[in-house]
Amino acid sequence: MSTVTEIKEAIDRLTPQEYCELMSVLHPFEDDDWDRQMKADVAAGKFVAMNEKAERCGAVASGG
């Protein structure tokens, strides 16, 4: 088996979080205006209520 084939198979076994981490290493990009605004909104707590509601509804896994 070739190394490339082994790498492709390993990528297929990654969790979604691991895949995102790998993509951020392979395809880095600078924040644009949208990214900066989202980070500012998160830091200001603008999504706390929405996240809490989603957790109560079972839409997302709570903390971890």
What CA–CA distances, in Å, run from 7 to 2, 3, 4, 25, 33?
9, 6, 5, 15, 34
Query: Which pLDDT belongs to residue 9?
Result: 96
Residue 63 has pLDDT above 80, yes or no: no
CA distance linking residue 61 with residue 55, whole number of Å: 6
Query: Which pLDDT belongs to residue 12?
Result: 97
Residue 13 has pLDDT above 90, yes or no: yes
Q: Where are the domains of the chain?
A: 1-29, 31-64
Query: Which pLDDT belongs to residue 58?
Result: 84
pLDDT tens digit string along 19-50?
999 999 998 888 889 999 999 999 999 999 99
The answer for residues whose C-beta is within 8 angstroms of residue 62's C-beta and 6 or more apart is: 55
Query: Which pLDDT belongs to residue 61?
Result: 64
DSSP 27: S
Q: Which of 14, 10, 15 has its CA nearest to residue 64? A: 15
